[in-house]
Structure 1
Amino acid sequence: MSAAGHSDEVLDGLRRQARKLVAELAGPVRRVRLRSGETVLEVEWHGPAEAAAAPRTDPEPVAAPVVEPTTVPDRLAVRAPVVGTFYRSPEPGAAPFVTVGDLVRPGQVVGIVEAMKLMNEVTADQPGRVVEILVEDGKPVEYDQPLLALEPLAERSD
């Protein structure tokens, strides 16, 4: 099987899982993100919450939200990708993904949000230095809630 055929097969499997997950959830769903290896399926619904509660058979994918500045000037926020419980480490007792003072790069995992027994990686969208952890480990978070504050890295002038 070709690489493209394998990718299509993985994507089809992720679509089936997304449909099943949305159908099983009790409340409204606004965003679903599933990953299998390098393949990621992300779906976001726009419109009233009532419309999001009814599962759709052919959801429209959209781009992931962009990291926006927090209310503090010169800071960026890493935000929650879904509603759930925020964890700073991969498992209880393990070292946290990041701590205050750490440098992060785009795509680096900085935490996990558990939603319906699914562990959703929280990744940095931009490079920066962690200046504040905004949510305690094990606390509930809302979609798009700031989790970490980053200080942007200064541009190098060589």
Structure 2
Amino acid sequence: MTLEPEPAGEREQVLDWVVRHAARLGDAGSAPLRRITVSTATVAIGVEWSPPGPPGAAPPPTPERADDTAADPGPDTTLLVTAPMVGTFYRAQEPGAAPFVEIGDLVEAGQQVGIIEAMKLMNAVQADRRGRVSRIVAADGTPVQYDEPLLALLPHDGH
């Protein structure tokens, strides 16, 4: 559900509505409610349900927008670096600059791998674990949603 920009008071009314109706939203899906995301500026509400299946089962793979620059690294070995917020993903510090990482690069936990621009602010995206970049999932300059895959890493144990 996306609404046009509204005064702050009306946005708060939308948030209040979501909170009041969260139980109905949870019952609307075929699985337990996993997340409700509310963004501001142009109010966007995202609702996500847990995947069906036994408790503790891994969620199905997230659909990916790939640059198609690497082969599939294989099942169950890929670690994803995901968007920490909604915004526009950039692979480099500025237009024309070298990307923070390329396919084949080894990244360390805490290393900057991209930028997300949100409301005119540039926010660093950091890898949360060590690995070798196997695929660039999100294209440079594209809008991304919270928790959307940006990069795929193959685990690297340091040898």
Same fold by TM-score greater than 0.5: yes
Distance in 2 between the 1:118 and 1:154 partners?
34
Q: In terms of mean alpha carbon deviation, does 68-77 or 91-100 score higher? A: 68-77
Corresponding residue number in structure 2 for 1:109: 112
Coordinate RMSD, CA, aligned: 3.2
Corresponding residue number in structure 2 for 1:100: 103
Paired AA for residue 77 in structure 1: L
Paired AA for residue 90 in structure 2: Y
Distance in 2 between the 1:147 and 1:126 partners?
14
Query: Which of 1 and 2 has greater Rg?
Result: 2
Task: Tell me the number of residue pairs that the alignment of Structure 1 and Structure 2 aligns.
Answer: 102
Paired AA for residue 114 in structure 1: E
Distance in 1 between the 2:36 and 2:80 partners?
26
Paired AA for residue 88 in structure 1: R
**C-alpha distance after superposition, 1:116-152 (max 9, x if no partner):** 0011110001000000000110000000101000000
In structure 2, relative to structure 1, the CA distance for the partners of 1:49 and 1:92 (3 Å cut) is: closer
Q: Post-superposition shift, 1:48? A: 5.3
User: 1:87 aligned to 2:90?
Assistant: yes
The ranges of structure 1 where at least 4 consecutive aligned residues each deviate by more than 6 angstroms after the TM superposition are: 26-29
Corresponding residue number in structure 2 for 1:74: 77
Distance in 2 between the 1:133 and 1:143 partners?
17
> What TM-score comes out, normalization by structure 2 length?
0.55
In structure 2, relative to structure 1, the CA distance for the partners of 1:118 and 1:126 (3 Å cut) is: same
Q: Which runs of 5+ in 1 are unaligned?
A: 1-22, 30-45, 54-67
Q: Percent identity?
A: 54
Corresponding residue number in structure 1 for 2:44: none
In structure 2, relative to structure 1, the CA distance for the partners of 1:130 and 1:117 (3 Å cut) is: same
In structure 2, relative to structure 1, the CA distance for the partners of 1:70 and 1:81 (3 Å cut) is: farther
**C-alpha distance after superposition, 1:66-91 (max 9, x if no partner):** xx998341110001011000000000
Q: Which runs of 5+ in 2 are unaligned?
A: 1-7, 16-33, 41-57, 62-74
In structure 2, relative to structure 1, the CA distance for the partners of 1:95 and 1:151 (3 Å cut) is: same
Secondary structure of residue in 2 paired with 1:136: coil
User: How is 1:128-139 mapped onto 2 (pairs within 5 angstroms)?
Assistant: 128-139=131-142
> What TM-score comes out, normalization by structure 1 length?
0.56
Distance in 2 between the 1:123 and 1:70 partners?
24
Say which of 98, 121, 129 aligns to 1:118.
121
